[in-house]
Structure 1
Amino acid sequence: MSNLQEAELSSHHEPLRRRKRSNRAFFVFVIIWIILISGGVMGAKWYSDKIQRDVAADLERQTSAQIAAMQQDYTQRMDKLEAAYKEELAQLDAKVDALNELLTFTKDNADSKTDNSNKLYTQLNEVKKKLNELQKNLDVLK
């Protein structure tokens, strides 16, 4: 009877051992899957952050390059406009001087009844107005 009891006891413990082993295996399987999934999520987050930083850096480089190009273009345009205004001012200044000389010559040679001096004064005032307008535009551009 002792053999029979031992056989019953050993057969009784064997399913319990198999259940414990299968429970452990299932637990290890679940833990491994949780580790794999969390590793994949963390890897995806790291990769997306890296891509985002790379895109932001590229965008910043492109933007700064475009801003530098625009500043250079703006500076060139301003220099051209300033040179053009200075040239026009010089021309108008020369015209004013010429009109002053002509006016002085006309005053010296004309009698008091002629209207030439009034015409020259009018022209001189118009040229001075244009000269002042150009000077104001130049100041605004600076």
Structure 2
Amino acid sequence: MSTQMEANASPAVVAARSVKPAKKATSKKSYLLFFTSWFLLIATGVMGTMLYTAHLRTQLSAQLAAQTEQQLQAMQTEYQKQLEELKTSFAADMTALQTKVDSFNELLAFTKDSANSKTDNSNQLYTQLAEVKKKLDELKQNLDVLK
């Protein structure tokens, strides 16, 4: 049932009306293209985020490893320094103690030579000498432990 207007219409107008169903097909294609491009854009963003996160993770772990290594080196040098100070102090103590032992030996020898039958000071000196030798032995054992 065509109306009179349609009959009077030019063939170009009639062709334009018949093109409308073709627009629906291209419209579906454009929606599909639009949603596909959005999907690709979102997927690209997600992949970029994942790659950037992995990059940051490796960079952070490398920085942590370097920082830990620095701290370990600092602790090691501090430990070595303290150990050297302790060895030096221990050696000085051993030298002072050896000096005391030598002076006690000299005093003991002098006392022994000058002792008469009325006084018995040599027992006290022997006791002190034994105590000093005990301490000297302990210090030597501690030095061996430190080495």
- TM-score band by shorter chain is 0.7 to 0.9
For residues 82 and 14 of structure 1, the distance between their equivalents in structure 2, rounded to whole angstroms, comes to: 101
Q: Given the alignment of the two structures, is residue 71 of structure 1 paired with residue 39 of structure 2, yes or no?
A: no
Give the number of equivalent residue pairs: 137
Cross-structure match for 2:137:
132
For residues 123 and 112 of structure 1, the distance between their equivalents in structure 2, rounded to whole angstroms, comes to: 21
Measured after TM superposition, the shift of residue 138 of structure 1 is: 2.4
The one of 51, 55, 64 equivalent to 1:50 is 55
For residues 24 and 120 of structure 2, the distance between their equivalents in structure 1, rounded to whole angstroms, comes to: 128
For residues 87 and 11 of structure 1, the distance between their equivalents in structure 2, rounded to whole angstroms, comes to: 111
Q: Given the alignment of the two structures, is residue 105 of structure 1 paired with residue 94 of structure 2, yes or no?
A: no
Unaligned stretches of 5+ residues in structure 2: 1-5
Measured after TM superposition, the shift of residue 51 of structure 1 is: 1.3
SS in 1 for 2:116: coil
Cross-structure match for 1:80:
85
CA RMSD of aligned residues (A): 2.2
Deviations 1:62-97 (A, max 9, x none): 111111111111101110110000111011111111
For residues 18 and 136 of structure 2, the distance between their equivalents in structure 1, rounded to whole angstroms, comes to: 114
Cross-structure match for 1:14:
19
For residues 42 and 112 of structure 1, the distance between their equivalents in structure 2, rounded to whole angstroms, comes to: 104
For residues 70 and 16 of structure 2, the distance between their equivalents in structure 1, rounded to whole angstroms, comes to: 81
Give the structure-1-normalised TM-score. Answer: 0.85
Give the structure, 1 or 2, with the largest relative contact order (CA under 8 Å, sep 6 or more).
Answer: 1
Unaligned stretches of 5+ residues in structure 1: none
Deviant stretches of 4+, over 3 Å? 9-13
Measured after TM superposition, the shift of residue 43 of structure 1 is: 0.5
